[in-house]
Amino acid sequence: MSGERLLTINNLSVTFGGLHALRELDFHVDEGEIVSVIGPNGAGKTTFFNMISGMVTPTSGEIIFENQSLIGLDPNQVTARGIARTFQNVRLFANMTILENVMVAQHCRTKQGLWGALFQTSSFKREEEEIREWGEKVLGFFGTRLVGYRLDQPASVLSYANRRRLEIARAMATKPTILLLDEPVAGMNPKESEELTRLIGELRSEWGFTIVMIEHDMGVVRDVSDRVVVLDHGETIAQGSYEEVSTNPDVIEAYLGRPAEEAS
């Protein structure tokens, strides 16, 4: 079901001081795929996202997105190219309203400047209207939870699950091609994560996003992913369908620990 190759990562390494957070990593995503990245704590999954989104500069290797290199771009340029992300430790603009959170995310898709704002030009007003409409549309994706009177409430009053949803909505608002979701269901109860799993499927089928997702919840991984990539100690130790990966002895070893002499 996958289309053209969207993102290719070749031979990529990231080191922090002496720590090899990622080591000679190869990775790719095709259009319309949902890829899950799993691995034990500290495996380098979040670092992997940070590096794609430009928040961490790789030590070596290349990242090609839609046939252009992303190396050396600032995070905002990467987002403008069409890769948006959420954060593992929810990082909303807590004192801005829910609507403002998704409005501000459209910054790189809009262009009105000083002039329009000061003279309230018709194009300014039109753009403001469009920003608001798109904002309400992405919020509406999660049903009635984030709209209505909620629009004008600060993000800080939201429940944990709703904050996670707002994070996704904010990333959607940037009109990306690829969505990077860092542990989207962490902290949700089974019912909520089941619902979100369905929504992630809709993100692809109805909104046309390609999705790379970090997730610890194997149920979710099994239900939505086309492909699973397993990281351990910054290296890809396995990839393939959920069934292939979940029976792979290396993966089981990575999760259950390894013999003592190898660890030292």
Partner 1 sequence: MTDTTVLAPARGVLDQDWRKIVNYGLLLALAEVFIALANMPVGLDDFILIEPILSLGYVSLLWLPLLLGYSIGTEKVLEGVTSHAKGAREVVAGACVGLIGGGGVSGLVLLLDNFDLRDPLVNWSPQLLALLAFDNGVGYGVGVWLAIGGGLGLLGGSMHLIAPLARRVVSTMVLAVVGVAVLETILSDIAEDLFLEWLADWIYFIRGGVSLHGAATVAVVAGAYAVWGSKAVKGAKASYQALEGVERKQANKVSIAVVVAATILLPLVLGKITNELLANVGLFLLLALGLNIVIGLAGILDLGYVAFFAVGGYTTAILTSPNRGDSWPTWIPQVWWVVALMLVIVLAGLTGLFIGAPVIRMRGDYLAIVTLGFGEIIRLLFLSDWLGGFTGGAQGVTNVPGVQVFGLANVRGTDPRAVFYLVAFFCAIAIYVSWRLEKSRIGRAWMAVREDESVAEAMGINTVNVKLLAFVVGAVLASFSGAIFAAKVGSVFPTSFIILVSIVILIVVIVGGMGNIAGVVAGSVVLIGVLGGPKQPGLLQEFSEFKLLIYGALLVWMMLKRPEGLIPNVRRTRELHQDEFLQDAWLKGQIDEGDETGDGGEVAPA
Query: Judged by CB, which is closer to partner 1: 18, or 111?
Result: 111
* By the rule CB under 5 A, 225 interacts with Mg ion: no
CA distances from 197 to 36, 210, 216, 217 (A): 12, 15, 13, 11
Render 37-70 in DSSP notation, one character per residue. Answer: EE-STTSSHHHHHHHHTTSS--SEEEEEETTEE-
Maximum Cα interatomic distance, the chain, rounded to a whole number of Å = 71
Helix, strand, coil share (%) of the chain residues, nearest 5:
45, 25, 35
Measured between its terminal Cα atoms, the distance across the chain in Å is: 43
Q: Which of 8, 32, 59, 108 binds partner 1 (CB under 8 A)?
A: 108
* By the rule CB under 6 A, 46 interacts with ligand ATP: yes
Interface segment toward ligand ATP; rule CB under 6 A; list 44-52, 99-107, 220-228, 255-263 = 44-52
Distance CA 194, CA 141 (A): 16
| H or E stretch at 84 | strand 83-85
Least CB distance from residue 245 to partner 1, whole Å? Answer: 29
Interface segment toward partner 1; rule CB under 8 A; list 111-119, 219-227, 229-237, 253-261 = 111-119
Q: Which of 3, 26, 91, 243 binds partner 1 (CB under 8 A)?
A: 91
Q: Which of 60, 123, 156, 247 binds partner 1 (CB under 8 A)?
A: 156
Count the Cβ atoms, other than its own, within 10 Å of residue 133.
9
Q: Which of 45, 170, 204, 227 binds partner 1 (CB under 8 A)?
A: 170
The tokens describing 1, both together, are 């079901």
Query: Judged by CB, which is closer to ligand ATP: 66, or 235?
Result: 235
Residues that bind partner 1 (CB under 8 A): 53-55, 74-76, 79-80, 84-85, 87, 91, 93-96, 100, 103-110, 112-114, 116-118, 120, 124, 127-128, 131, 143-146, 148-150, 153-154, 156-162, 170-171, 174, 189, 191-192, 195
- Name the site residues for Mg ion (rule: CB under 5 A): 45-46, 88
